Structures are given as C-alpha cells and as structure tokens.
Structure 1
Amino acid sequence: MVPEQLPIFKDLNPYSGQIDTNNRWIKLAKLVPWEEMDVIYQKHFDTKKLSVIKNCRLIMGLILGQMFLELSDREIVDYFHENPYFQYFCGKDTFVAKLDSKIVHPSLLSKRRRRLGASYTQQFEQEMVIALKKKGLIKGKKLTLDATVFPANITHPNDVKLLNAVREYLCKTILDVKNSIDPNRNIRTYKRVARKVYLTFQKTKRKTKTFIRKQRKKMIQYVNRNINQLDTLLAEAKTQIIQEGSPIKQWRYDQIVNKLNVAKRILDQQLHMATTKGRKVANRIVSFHWPEIRPMVRGKEGKCVEFGPKAHVALVDGYALLDHAQFDSFHEGIRLDESLNKHIDRFDTLPTIVLADQLYSNRDNRALLKEKEISHSFKHVGRPSNETRAAQRKRKTQFKKRQGQRNHIEALFGHLKKRFNLNRLTWTVPGGATMQIQLGLIAANLYRAAGSA
C-alpha cells in the first residue's frame, strides 16, 4: 500500500506542510489507480532491475502531465521542478529541487513509451473505468458513438515537398556511409542543383499543372539517382559487415535499409502518378518520416482532407473511451457490434440506449439493436405508421432530443483537441499515436471526475 502523503513538504518554506488540499494535482492524484498500474508497469522490466528503474508513478505522472498541460518532454520535466503540487502528483513527499541534474532525462519518457506500448495504455483505461465505477461516477447506461481524425504533427504535404524530404535524407545518408567506407571517394548527388529546383518551386506563387509536373519529374530523377547511389554503398557496407571490418554497426545498417525501403515506395508511387497523369494511388504515403499516415478524405468545410489516425470513440455518461484507432480509413457505421461487445467487457451489461449519427443507421445495426432490445436515436424508416398526430409529434420531439444529446460527443472532440494535447499528435514510436489518443482521453476523464468528486 502507498502511504498517505498529506501533509506534504514539511520542511519547505513558505509552505511548511500547509498546502491547498483542493489543488487540482492533489485531487487528480487521488483518482489515479497508482497501485494497480505499478503492478502492470513492473511486468515490462527485468525483476533484477526493478530497484534501479524510475517508478511507475513518476513516469506516468510526467506523461499524464503532458496531456493536461500540452508540454513537450523537456518542458514537462522543467515544470516538475517548478511546481510542488505536480511533484506530489508524481509521488514525491519532499520537494525535489533542480540543482545539478533533473529528476529524469527527457529522453527517458520516449524510451518508456516505446517499452510500454499501446497495450499498457489500454490496461490503464480499464483500471480507470473500474476506479470510476467504484466511485459511482460511471454506470454504463447510455452509449454515444462517433469517429474523428486526430491530426498528426506533419507539414501539409505536396508531391515535390515529399520528394525533397526523401532527397535530403538520401544525400545526408550517402555522405555518412561514404565517409565511413572511403572518405576520399567522390559521389555526385546533385544536391545543390536539386535544392535550387525545390526553392524555385516553393517561391513560385501561381503554379500551373505543367509547371508542377515538370518540377516533380526533375525531383523524381534526382531521388532515383540518389537511391541507386545509396544502394551501391549499402551493398559494399554489407560485405564489410559480414567480414567484420565495417565501421557501420548492424543496427545503423538496418535503420538505413528501412528508411531506404520507404523512399523506394514513395518513388514508385510518385512515378506511377507521373506516368499515368493521375492523382490517386493505393496506400499513399504523405510523410517520409512518419510513413504510416494516410490522407483521410473528410469533406468538411476548410478540412477536405485530414492527415492522422482515425479514432472510434465511445462516450459513456460523459466519459470518453477509445474503441479503435488506426491510420487507414474505416467506416465507423460497421463497428457498432464491436463497440457493444467492448461495452459489455467494461460494464458487464448492455446499454439501454445508443446515440449515434445516421452513418450507423443501416439495416444490420437496426436489427442488432432490436434483437438486443436497445433503443436508439436513428430516424424512423418505412411506411408511415397508423399513429395519432400526438404520437407522431412525440416521436419527432424524442428524435430531436436524442440527436441533441448525441451532439455532446461532437463538442467533446473539439474539447479534447484544444485542451488535452490531441490537436497535433507527436508520438512517433510504434503505437505512439494510439497511446497519445488514449492518454488524452484518460486525462479528460480524470479532469471530469475531479470536478464531480
């Protein structure tokens, strides 16, 4: 059991233990299931190293603080040393001053995200639901469903800009590998000429279709040349690695090969669009440094296309839970059955009502809800029923009321993106986008629970 920490910082002036117990960090600390999460956290490490690793409460406290305050890794570590209340939230019972070194190096947070993975945040969400149920804050009677795209932190892509990003990486890597193998060798990458082509494109205000095609063709030629040059160098480096005489480490070689494969896929896609004069290609890559991202055609005013993972979110009694997230587009209307099964796993019962927009109102979903005796917010279909005018007015009024209740999830999406560090996803580790979305939802749930407690 974790001992009670209040009063805190007894020897800290001017507080001397008299600290506001209504502070948000103290309230939030009481809601997080630290003990349960620590048990799960320790399973990700060797038992012999548990005495030296940073504990769960410190690491998860810092990461949750990022979601509340919308800070980077470096900024949240600096904030830790500035705020005694936040130090209490992270499990410290005495004030930790920033003297010669910080409590943790900022890079450790990224390493822990990589080690823990998305499965840990899913377990975190499950433990949070259990804690909220024990406090009577969530009951699971009303389920609201919708999907949204959380934008990733990438520049708005175009073909020439994407090819230039690939070219710059290839030129830099060619120089590094060449200097490792033979510093005296000369390789013509045409990087200065290609850079001028790119700058000319960027500075041109009015770009005609012919001009865009010409500049893209030039960039394709430069990228193709650089890929062939790097392929040749890597073949030589592999021979030296086999003979155990290469200055390039195996992990570095594998890293370059992975990036080179992405560059080749981008080149193939751009070459296909250039030769067919088309604008569509399957599984189109829009970011060289985050190749999982796909364009999501949304059709919204001002946001015709969005770039980031699409998330299917369930809103239960005002608390947001993540049902599914992926970079490839999907139709949320066919995921109702999956959401109902997850609702049963969380609450051991079905909801009494499902609120969703008309994308969910297909025949299969209507039949499913009818079979399970769950009411819904879908529009009445079929022939006009033989009901009185009073009954018709009542049904229409009920439909408008339920659609108004469904709109709460739309407001929630805007609140999450503006307030809980989900406006620009930045975690590029494997599964990092899902982790950031799930922790953002957890932070929003904690904030709501602290206000209700």
Structure 2
Amino acid sequence: MIDWDRFDDAFGPFYHEHKGRRGLRTRLMTGLHLLKHMKGLSDEEACAAWLENPYFQAFCGESHFQHRLPFDRSSMTRWRRRMGTDDLELLLAETIAVAVKTKAVSQRQLERITVDTTVQTKAVAHPTDSHLILRAIEWLNRLAKRHGISLRQSFLRLATRARREVARLLHTGGHKQGLRWLKKMRTWLGRLIRDIRRKIASDPSLEAAFATVLERAERILGQQPSDKNKLYALHAPEVECIGKGKARTRYEFGCKTSIATTNERCKGGQFVLGAMALRGNPYDGHSLTGQIDQVTRLTGTSVTRAYVDRGYRGHKIKRDDLDITISHTRGITSPTIRREMRRRSAIEPVIGHLKEDGLLERNHLAGPEGDATNAILCAAGHNMRLLARWIRILFALLVAVERQPPWPVPTTTLAGGAERKTGMPVWSAAPPA
C-alpha cells in the first residue's frame, strides 16, 4: 500500500546519474528506516535483522533472499544526512496517507488534533563537573598523542583517581574534601590547556586541529553552577537542560520536542500527525503555530480544532478557521468540545510508546539535525506499528469470513412445486461470531 514511487520522485534530485558511485535504491533505504523505527532497533541491529529476515527483505523490494548486505552500516548515516529533515518528513506523510487509504483514519479525524511537548533525551552521561573535567583531559591527551605533541604531564592518572574520590565524598560527610579534589581537577585541566597552547602557538594547522576541543575544554573550565547555556557533553554541545516538573526526574538533558496526534482514537489507534524538535527550549505557546502548520503540510488537511494543556496559555494565535481549546477552561457549552477535551490526556501514553517502543527516549543521532531527524522517524515508526496491527485485524476478519460455511436458507414448498425462501437461515450448530 506504500507509494514507493513517491520517494523516488522526491529523493531523485539528491542523486546524479553518472557522477560518483551508484547510489543505493530509495526503497531499500526508506524501507529499512521505517522498519528500524517500527521495531525500535539501532542501525547495526536493523542491518542484522534485514540480513536474516526474509520479510524485511521483501518489504524493502528484494525478489530473492540476499545472503550479504548490499551496503555498509554507515550508509544509513550518510543517507540521513543527505536527505535532511524536511525531505524525511515525507516518510511520516506517507504513513498517514496509508492510514487514510486503509480507513484506519478518516479525514474528519485529521482536522482535530492534540498537541503536547516532551523531552527527547540525548545519549549522554549525567553531567557532573568532575565527569566533564575528566573527559576534557582525556580528549586533550588523545588529540595530543594523535598529532605527536609531547606534554609536560598528562594528568590522566591523577584525574581518574580524583574523579573517583569526588564521586565518593561529594554527597556524604566529606563534602568539603570532595570539593578540594574538584578544585585540583580544575587546576590540572587549566595547566594542560596552557601547555598545549604554548606548543601549538607557531603552527596554524595544529591550532585549527585543536580549536574545537580547546574551546569546549575552556568552557567547561570556566562555567559556574549558576551560568546559562552551559556545556553538558563534549561530543554533544547542543544538549540543553530542561525541567518538566517531574517528581522522578527533575531535569532531563536533550531537546524539547513537540508532538501532534489525532484527538479521537481511530480504528487503528491514535496516530501521530506531526513531530518537530524545538531548539533553545522555547515556550510551548510559541511553538504551536509551527506544529499546526506542519500537520497541515503533512496531511493535506486544514486543522479546525486543537486541544492543548495549560502550558500553551498565551499562544496569541487568531485564525478564523481554527479553534484552540486549553484544558481546564471554564464556560465550554458545547458537549462535543467537552468530550474531545477529555481525550486530550490520551496523548501522554502515545508519548510513552514513542519513548519505550521507539527511539525517542535516547537519541544517538549527532547534532541538532539528528534531533529533528530522530523525532520525525520515531513518529513514522509509531504509525507503522499501528498500521501493522490494523492490517492484521483486517486480515483476521477477512479469513474468518472466508472460512464460514455456506449456511442453508430454509425454503417452503408452494403449490405447484415452487420453493420460496422464508428468511433466516437454519443454524445446524451455534451461529458464527
């Protein structure tokens, strides 16, 4: 039911007919990404599953069973970077189109949506000062060894021991002693930075090679607990600290993500109609316009009603054809809107499925582009899971109807030998379900 030619037409401009190595087939790459996020697999696991699962290969367009991967695992990373976030939205749009085609979702249900935000956490360790300082010392030593720079002292052994002592003492009665160890670590990192700067000062190529690592190490060395825009991971400087008011998790480290779903529970389930990463931890109300526009663009249907929580107060959106209802709003007289408002909280389990069954809980894709790409693909994977379940239900109903025996219809003999059907069939056993 998927229109694979749609992907060929959209992604064709990214390939050249004669230049470079022959590109991988579009159906292979799009199908593999849909299966990856449908099953919640990593790139390595998706490649391994494709190699041993004939159903995966048939879904990706293979006519014969393949015993060898036609690509390398890193090809998936390069393909995602080549496509970009805007073009990968087509995968989510196609899952919505298939849902409409199979009548799992109606056009009226696409007009009424529920919007909420969550945190897409990054695959980083919990940031602490001692951990970040130790990682900065390790990065600087590794880069110095790669470029053949002889350091006065590496501080690796000392910093590793100090990191262990800080973790042991900082949250116990030895708090002051732990802070002294932390101060020593800062001193060692500063000495290492100054030593490297002295030895690369006369070489522009080395200065360029060390520029990024030195800049991030100096940020870690100088940042204070009360500062804003702090660095929480050396390999992911885009990570933000977001507090959502959860009792079990005070702070989450990643990127705020907006999710839009159908308000009504459709036949196949509650489908995701839009997903977008929000850089800079913006106010929820300021992101509502972009989310509604994305849903309209992906579904081809104008949104008439949007249901949000109280975090969206002050959105200042005024459209004649759009009605935005905030939860716990008094004075709603329409029974339809009150009923649909009670369905607003149903978006929370959808977000839970995106995190537990999908890959939204721990994003491994690099950079801000990776955050946006992962959000889109997770939404497409969620819709694929719902579509697979819905098609299984339809297939089971079809098989049940095919297996029903032809029940005899009772007849009455009339004068002259003619027969007339009397109506209800005669059940020789219990009637079919």
Identify whether the pair has TM-score above 0.5, normalized to the shorter chain. yes
Q: 1:339 to 1:434 in 2, by over 3 A?
A: closer
5+ residue gaps, structure 2: 265-269, 392-433
Partner of 1:290: 236
What is the match of residue 427 of structure 1? 365
Specify which of 180, 188, 199 is matched with residue 164 of structure 2. 199
Offset, 1:120: 2.4
Larger Rg: 2
Question: How far has the Cα of 1:130 moved from its partner?
Answer: 4.5
- Residue identity matched to 2:200: L
- The 1:85–1:401 alpha-carbon spacing in structure 2 relative to 1, beyond 3 Å, is same
Q: Which amino acid in the other structure matches residue 425 of structure 1?
A: N
Counterpart secondary structure, 1:147: strand
Aligned to 1:443: 381
Report 1:180-195 matches (<5 A): 185=150, 187-195=152-160
Structure 2: distance between partners of 1:47 and 1:232? 50
Q: Does 1:452 align with 2:390?
A: yes
In the other structure, the counterpart of 1:141 is 111
Task: Report the Cα offset of residue 343 of structure 1.
Answer: 3.9
The Cα offsets for residues 145-171 of structure 1, whole Å up to 9 and x where unpaired, read as 100002111111111111111111111
After superposing the two structures, state which structure 1 stretch, 60-69 or 125-134, moved more: 125-134
Q: Secondary structure at the match of 1:96?
A: coil
- When the two structures are aligned, how many residues end up with a matched partner? 381
Q: What TM-score do the two structures reach when normalised by structure 1?
A: 0.76
Question: Equivalent residue for 2:193?
Answer: 227
What is the one-letter code of the residue matched to 2:125?
Answer: T
Aligned partner of residue 149 in structure 1, secondary structure: strand
Matched, 1:86 2:51: no
TM-score by length of 2: 0.79
Structure 2 contact 115–308 (Cα < 8 Å) conserved: yes
* 1-structure distance, mates of 2:315, 2:371: 33
Work out which of the residue numbers 211, 214, 217 in structure 2 matches 1:263. 217
Structure 2 residue identity aligned to 1:146: D
Question: Gaps (5+ residues) in structure 1?
Answer: 1-29, 180-184, 242-247, 274-278, 386-391
CA 1:122–1:235 in structure 2 vs 1: closer, same or farther (change >3 Å)? farther
**2:35 pairs with one of 65, 68, 92:** 65
Task: Give 1:398 deviation, angstroms.
Answer: 6.5
Q: Displacement of 1:255 after TM fit?
A: 5.4
Q: Deviations over 1:268-310 (max 9, x none)?
A: 21xxx2xxxxx22111111111111011011201111011111
Listed as ranges, the matches of 1:1-16 within 5 Å are none
Query: Who is 2:246 aligned against?
Result: 300
Distance in structure 1 (CA, Å) of the matches to 2:235 and 2:261: 33
Out of 325, 334, 337, the position equivalent to 2:286 is 334
**What amino acid is the match of 1:364?**
K
Find the aligned partners of 2:15 and 2:192 in 1 and give their Cα distance: 42
Matches within 5 A, 1:365-444: 365=317, 368=318, 371-372=320-321, 374=323, 376-381=325-330, 401-429=339-367, 431-444=369-382
**Does structure 1 retain, via aligned residues, the 8 Å contact 2:256–2:278?**
yes
**Distance change in 2, residues 1:449/1:207 (3 Å):** farther
Q: Does the 8 Å CA contact 1:69/1:421 hold for their aligned counterparts?
A: no
Q: Give 1:372 deviation, angstroms.
A: 3.7
Change (3 A) 1:79 1:147: same
Deviation at 1:36, TM superposition (A): 1.5
